[in-house]
Amino acid sequence: MILTVTLNTALDVTYTVGSLVPHASHRVREVAERPGGKGVNVARVLAALGHEAVVTGFAGGPAGEALRGLLAPLPVRDALVPVAGATRRTVAVVDSASGDTTQFNEPGPHVSPAEWAALLSAYEELLAGADAVALCGSLPPGVHVGAYADLVRRARTAGVPVLLDTSGEPLRRGVAARPDLVKPNAEELAALTGAREPLRATRDARRRGARAVVASLGPDGLLALTPDGAWRAAPPRPVRGNPTGAGDSAVAGLLSGLVEGLDWPGRLVRAVALSAATVLAPAAGEFDHGAYTELLAAVTVSEDTAAA
């Protein structure tokens, strides 16, 4: 079983419009609602790959009820912890003419100390049956900034490989707790390390405590620095579409490859192929299966001996 933790779950709402024009009224062509939050997206992709996936985190209010209702028919186990506050909504507006997406993210519910304690209890129970765990996304109000560091340490104590995918101070503190893998994008890496050159920033992130770092370079693919070596992986060509959830699919690729015993190049090929195939899908948490199959054979991976 692979456990994903999404402390700040969301009800994802996607509007599709012909062309997004500031200060104008728009007729929405299509509306889609999905259970969201980074770890929820990761779990949905893992389930589509044939893995048992469990989601935990917080859910509350009408949006939380809608989220859990949308999860119910999916092959993902719901282990969300109820809270008194309302789960946030995220709204993505897709511009059909340009292919660009504009995102609006609410802050999320305020989590009480008692609710946080309930989450920790559920987390430790779930760790007992987990092969790997992903800690994903932002922190809702009320959750202390060192929360992910705490969850990393508990996973390490339980002997469960842990991947961290967050940003800002939660990332900084989480890295210091020595996760097995962190997956920042270039902007998050720069904020963490102060370096904008990806290789230098990735090296710095490893020195801060992460056992391995896989940096997302957008359309240029992934850069990985690991105890076994360094690699770069890239899609055969740029893809256009909705990038929401592409990074989450990369996390699913990395985690599934880890659990299946793939070597690092194999994990990276899967992560890049899933990420690109997600850009081609209509909503986060989904990927274009045909494109994924084609991309698996087309993603290039090269060893970076200078980076190792």
Alpha carbon distance 8, 10 (integer Å):
7
Q: Which of 12, 165, 180, 248 is catalytic?
A: 248
Tell me whether residue 248 is one of the annotated catalytic residues.
Answer: yes
Long-range CB pairs of 146-152, under 8 A, 24+ apart, other chains included: 146/170, 146/173, 147/7, 147/116, 148/173, 148/174, 148/177, 149/173, 149/174, 149/176, 149/177, 150/120, 150/177, 151/5, 151/123, 152/177, 152/178, 152/179
Catalytically active residues, by annotation: 248
